[in-house]
Structure 1
Amino acid sequence: MYVPSDSFGGLSPERKAADALRTLFTFIAVKIVLAQLEGSGRGSLASYNATDYQDLTTFLEEVPLRDGDAWLTLLLRRNEMLALRIMEVRAAYSVEDFEWESCKKLAVNDIKNANVKMMRQYATDAFKRAVGTDTSGADTPP
């Protein structure tokens, strides 16, 4: 299908989705690192680190994570090692743990279900309007 080139400021729909996923993966990486810093993660990276945990929690409260790259750029200036750790985790998560095929199936299935739900609601509303109309075409009072 043809998607007009100005739809997303000259970006393809895939590029727009990839940008959104990059921010999502940044958020996921932050959550993973927070769990590791609490000591509740798995493996050798899981160790209690109150200082970095507090620093990351405070930074997340002060700077909302709306754009993953911009957020990480600011974190790099504040805590380089923490930012690098989050970058490594988001890269690894995107390659090793994210269920790409599952995401596609969910998105396609959700679109189908949403379309059916909307069409059913539209049909119900249209039927109600039709029943509330007399033979002359004028609406009957409620």
Structure 2
Amino acid sequence: MSEPATVKMVEYAEASDEVRAVFDDIMATKGIDFVPNAWKVFASHPPSLKRLWYGLKEVMAPGALDPKFKEMIAIAVSATNGCDYCTRSHTAAARKLGMSDAEYGELIAVVGMFNQTNKMSDAYKIPVDEVFLRAW
């Protein structure tokens, strides 16, 4: 069983109109019928809830990168940062968008490889090649 949050989660029934409006947008945008725990925790500080949700909604919207690819990037960052909640929630979102077992396996292999080589490169203090510093 996971540890409780460090603040009281805001349940939908107890939410202010301001928070409830954000919760409604989260559920409508994600096509779900519940408010995920992360958003209930962030709602303990409504300005953060609004900033995080509307920022995330903008960043994750379709653009040059498709939504599944963006969710896969979120998995990579979340796994690297050690955020179990985020890794699991973005994995679920990517699965909903069609991420296959093969794609997930390759993603985790890339994450593992680059976490290893990044740590080794940092430990060795490898100087950056001049060509990589040029504007593309």
TM value normalised by structure 2: 0.25
The structure whose RCO (Cα within 8 Å, separation 6+) is larger is 1
Question: Computing the radius of gyration over CA atoms, which structure comes out larger, 1 or 2?
Answer: 1
TM value normalised by structure 1: 0.24
